[in-house]
Amino acid sequence: MEEIKTFNIAAVDDSNEDLNDCVEALEKISKAHNIVFNISKFSSGNTFLDSFKSQYDIIILDINLQLSNGIDIAHKIRDFDKDVLIFFVTNLAKYATEGYQVNAIDFILKPINYESFKLRFERAIASLLSKKRESITIQINETFKKIHLDEILYLEVYGHNIIFYLDSGNFEAYGSLKKYEEKLRKFGFLRCHNNYLVNAKRIDNIEKHTIVLDNGKELEISHPRKKSFMNDFKKYIVSSEGNI
């Protein structure tokens, strides 16, 4: 039986009529393609930002909001989520080009024409499916950050904090390595040391008690964890052979 695809969508518009038209169009597309859309409606950009935790696949955003500019809202979205698809709606064509500043996937003019909306939104869904990557959302103080798992090299415990080592840099978040080990194990993150959780996908080679990552970084495999780590790594290799 084919798995039903599910996407989380936020629709942000201070016009109830336009917001309802958008939701109605989404519901028709959902039925036509047997796709589940979990739709969250917001009547202001500030209300949306207050609840934003990088939990959406697509954000449909009105550019000409009364209390806040949609482009400004989009810039704030991009501060925490570089990859969520932003789909602009606007009643003025001249504003549409501003969407390129925040890497918007597309735009459509108001009032919404269903056939035009359907065509453009189907392209957005196709783009999303082609780029779908596993991710995790991390709380950092009062903010949230979404990270794609394939960007993570390894995690290191430091006191009561976890340091995430990424291709783009490092950052710290409160938590325990055990908690992240339980959460990320199914994605190939393996415990090689009491202090390290390594992304097996990023391992270039293993030399005795040393892991060499694909960026040249070396991690120690502790003696007590050597046997279990090597067994887990062999299982990872076998399970991932079909994806090579």
Q: How confident is the model at residue 209 (pLDDT cuts 50, 70, 90)?
A: very high
| pLDDT (tens digit per residue) in 218-235 | 999 999 999 999 999 999
List, in sequence order, every residue forming a beta bridge with 213; answer none if it has no partner: 203
Amino acid 161: pLDDT? 94
Assign domain 135-243 one CATH number from 3.10.560.10, 2.40.50.1020, 2.40.420.20, 3.40.50.970: 2.40.50.1020
What residues have CB less than 8 Å from 63, skipping those under 6 apart?
69, 70, 71, 88, 89, 90, 92, 95, 96, 98, 99, 107
When comparing pLDDT for 134 and 236, which is higher? 236
Please list the residue range(s) of the chain that carry CATH number 3.40.50.2300.
6-131
User: What's the rounded Cα separation, in Å, for the pair 186 and 172?
Assistant: 22
| pLDDT (tens digit per residue) in 57-78 | 899 999 888 778 888 999 999 8
pLDDT at 168 over 70: yes
Token pair of 141 as six digits: 């103080």
Q: How confident is the model at residue 194 (pLDDT cuts 50, 70, 90)?
A: very high
**E strand or H helix that includes residue 56:** none
Selection from 149, 232, 239 nearest residue 192 by Cα: 232
| pLDDT (tens digit per residue) in 118-129 | 999 998 888 877
Q: How confident is the model at residue 2 (pLDDT cuts 50, 70, 90)?
A: very low
Q: Using CA atoms in the order 32, 37, 41, 44, what is the torsion angle rounded to 10 degrees?
A: -100
Burial class (CB in 10 A: 0-12, 13-18, 19+), 40: middle
Token pair 């990320």: residue = 184
| pLDDT (tens digit per residue) in 137-151 | 888 887 778 788 988
Amino acid 240: pLDDT? 73
User: Is 3.40.920.10 the CATH classification of the domain at 6-131?
Assistant: no
Per-chain mean pLDDT for the chain: 88
Return the SS3 of 223.
helix
Amino acid 96: pLDDT? 58
Token pair of 52 as six digits: 């934003």
Please list the residue range(s) of the chain that carry CATH number 2.40.50.1020.
135-243
